[in-house]
Amino acid sequence: MTKKILTIVSNFGYWGVELAGPRKKLVEAGYSLTYATPKGERPIALPPSYDTDYMDPPLGCKVTTESDAKLVEEIKDSPELDNPINLSEWFPERPYFSQDKFLRAWEDYHQTVLQRYQELQDYDGVMLVGGSGPLLDMVNNQRVHDVILGFLKLGKPIAAICYGVACLPMARDFNERKSIIQGKHVTGHCIEYDYHDGTGFVGTDLNIGPPPYCLEYLLSDAVGSDGQFHGNFGKPTSVVVDYPFITARSLQCSHEFGEQFVNMLDRGLRRYGW
């Protein structure tokens, strides 16, 4: 094992502990994190995610503990987050069907993706960090999808938390168009915990109100009749392992998510939370 985890983070803001929590567990287990962002810009923690006075509207309570805020403070300004891999330069863009010499461009695209998949062998798994940012630049990002498909082909763990989970039902082989989580057990933001307003991002004053879609419905449809979405509404945490996927509902799950990710990597965990 290389003891390296490819960690994909939004350029529009990540939720602090959803990176800092699992990172702590991974580092304690001897793993290093290699960061990648859609445009290669340094990822920034969403300010509410390290504000211990922030009240979560759906939960009606403060959600960031003093210890979690300290963890976030330790990583958010660290040089560790400087110079992440630029996904837009690493993985190729899928060509438009309307462009000249499309067939040759399509063949070149597939050949380059296969080469990048060989490079993914340097990592033991991939982690998709949550927060509101992924809604803008990760969920429907074809390059992020190709990374996920690469780890799936290699049979390596794919970990996602909060709106990082939304990347999974969208990542599909372009020719087959089938959900990669069909028949799987997953968790994610259940509708009871969705914002009604206030979904914002770093680097912009944009407030899109509620999330642009209901993640519960997206996941429920994607797993199909043979799979199961587990919202676990009312339970403090919700982490589900159905190898090679490990999914976590939200920030409260960050430490458990990291612990079970390590159990997948080091102890062969294949099922958990259902």
Chain Cα centroid distance, residue 135: 11
Instruction: Report the number of distinct structural domains present in the chain.
Output: 1
Considering the chain, what percentage of its residues have pLDDT values greater than 70? 100
Local structure of 152: helix, strand or coil: helix
pLDDT tens digit string along 98-152?
Answer: 999 999 999 999 999 999 999 999 999 999 999 999 999 999 999 999 999 999 9
Q: For residue range 59-90, what is the model confidence (pLDDT) as tens digits?
A: 999 999 999 999 999 999 999 999 999 999 99
pLDDT tens per residue across span 188-219: 999 999 999 999 999 998 899 999 999 999 99
Whether 228 has a pLDDT exceeding 70, the answer reads yes
- Structural domain harbouring 103: 4-272
- Find, among 251, 196, 269, the residue nearest to 68 by Cα: 251
pLDDT digits over 168-180, tens only?
Answer: 999 999 999 999 9
Residue 1 confidence (pLDDT): 67
Q: Token digits for 94?
A: 């899928």
Nearest to 248 by CA among 190, 204, 197: 190
What is the arithmetic mean of pLDDT over 13-41? 98
| CATH assignment of the domain containing 28 | 3.40.50.880
Residues 6+ apart with CB under 8 A from 78: none
The pairing of strands 125-128 and 4-8 is: parallel
